[in-house]
Amino acid sequence: MPKIETLLSPALFHLHSEGIEDKQVVIIDILRATTTVVVAFENGVDHVVASASVKETQTFRDKGYLVAAERNGITVEGFDLGNSPQDYTPELVNGRNIALTTTNGTRALNMAEEAETVWVASFRNLTATADALTQNGRDVLLFCAGWKDRFNMEDTLFAGALAEQLMSRGWSTEDDATLAAMDLYTRNQSQLPDFLEQASHVQRFKTLHLESDLEVCLKTDSSRIVVKLDGDKLVGQTM
């Protein structure tokens, strides 16, 4: 019976890295990197490269990529895109390749690259991701990207939602972080936007006038696409 663990902050990764080569890791950055990646695949992107730095990302322009960079919630000047899922329209990304760097999500992805399989998940592909994890069958680590190594509520809520689906399929956990994430989600699943009004990242969105992204990021099961790391590229497939 496969097991579930939850990592509530990248700062705790060293406590979970042993044996990671035998596990599936799910990268979770609901506001907004993993949601944005899923939307990009919904809208026809060919593949995405997650870059560690702004400078490295810029080098992909000469290779024909769209380049996307975000720091502290703001699009980096001189890049084609930032980190808003609403900007990744079919007209812009269909058939294209994208190099992306963000404050939190791409960092988490790079940290977990030694795992047996690395998935990128959002509320939009919640059930599809649960199906893919079940099909693979290995133990899973739910990796919340957080905000600059800090715990955040939206990633933890999603970890709880995904853990709940897996537990209903016979998975198990002895991990307090997973149990806490499930409890947080269960108590608030009927009112996610209202509950997240108090979250620091949502308050940051309001300061930056990005509130309209929230509806896109909290839409559940609108997609059957799953996204995983294949070598150094993120690729999508339909379940």
CATH number, residue 106:
3.90.1560.10
- 20 inside domain: yes
The pLDDT score that the predictor gives to residue 200 is 80
How many separate domains does the chain show?
A: 1
**CB-based contact 157:188 (threshold 8 Å):** yes
Is 237 among the domain residues?
no
Asked if the structure places residue 234 within a domain, the reply is no
- The series of mean pLDDT values per 10 residues for the chain, 239 residues long, is 96 94 97 96 98 94 97 93 96 98 92 97 98 98 94 96 98 98 97 88 72 91 98 96
Residue 24 in any domain: the answer is yes
239 domain-assigned? no
Give strand pairing partners of 233. 230
**pLDDT value of residue 209:** 56
Inter-CA distances, 75 with 22, 149, 155, 221, Å:
36, 20, 21, 27
- For 16, the domain range is 4-228
- Residue 130: its pLDDT value, please? 98
pLDDT at 145: 96
Helices 153-168 and 176-188 sit at what angle, rounded to 10 degrees? 100
Any domain includes 196: yes
**Phi-psi map region of 209: left, alpha, beta (phi>0 left; psi -120 to 50 alpha):** left
On whether residue 58 sits in a domain, the answer given is: yes
User: Within a domain: residue 236?
Assistant: no
